[in-house]
Amino acid sequence: MAPTPTWFILAIQDHPENFLRKNLLVYHSTFADEEGITKACGCPLLPLKSRKKGPAPVSEQGKTDIVDEAITFFRCNVFFRNFDIKGPADKLLIYLTFYINLSLKKLEGCRTLAEGSKAILNLGVENVTIPGESGFPFTGLFSLPQSQQEAELLRDYLKQIREETSGRLLGVAYRPNGTPNKWWLAFAKRKFMNIALLDK
């Protein structure tokens, strides 16, 4: 992933709402609604560059996947209160943006990579809710499961993609020496789509 330019970071840190309103639009996923992609509850099970156990097809290591997009676009998209969905992949992008937001909130106060790892790696696989269950953050984003098989397929995919996102997020939220990257952890205070982040 290409690093975010310093001028961009400084601009949105100083006056985020004004800068975004004047200069930027929300970033959408580049993944089209292609035939052959399995869906569960309307969520596309897009390929991942992941060795984590789960139902996601395996993506080539050199290609961008939806997790790359979510992390790359996060520091822009997190400022928006509305998200015009252009396709099914945008629904997954919204879900991951919220998950990254939640993960950064968990990382607040974690002064080392080791502490941060403990804080969010389990977050990826614990209490993973799906549409229709209490605690699922986006009513109407995905459809309700039509069978137990569909429900468990979506849950397993979300577990896999959350776990993968957690691992990659640690790689940008902390510097190579294990200290926090303030240009990432500062975004823990934002609320994506104005959704309050509640510690459980």
Does some domain include residue 86?
yes
> How far is the C-alpha of 190 from the C-alpha of 75, rounded, in Å?
10
CATH number for the domain spanning 47: value is 1.10.1760.10
Cα dihedral sign for 119, 125, 130, 135? negative
pLDDT digits (tens, 9 = 90+) for 111-123: 999 999 988 988 8
Number of domains in the chain: 1
Does some domain include residue 22?
no
Does some domain include residue 191?
no
Does some domain include residue 149?
yes
Does some domain include residue 197?
no
pTM of this structure: 0.83
Q: Residue 65 belongs to what domain range?
A: 39-132+140-186
Q: Is 7 in a helix, a strand, or coil?
A: helix
> How far is the C-alpha of 24 from the C-alpha of 38, rounded, in Å?
32
Does some domain include residue 144?
yes
pLDDT digits (tens, 9 = 90+) for 68-98: 999 999 988 888 777 788 889 999 999 999 9
How confident is the prediction for the chain on average, in pLDDT?
83
Highest mean pLDDT out of 34-48, 112-126, 151-165: 151-165
Residue 58 β-bridge partners: 48
Report, as an integer, the average pLDDT of 173-194: 85
Instruction: List Cβ neighbours of 60 (8 Å cut-off, separation of 6 or more).
Output: 49
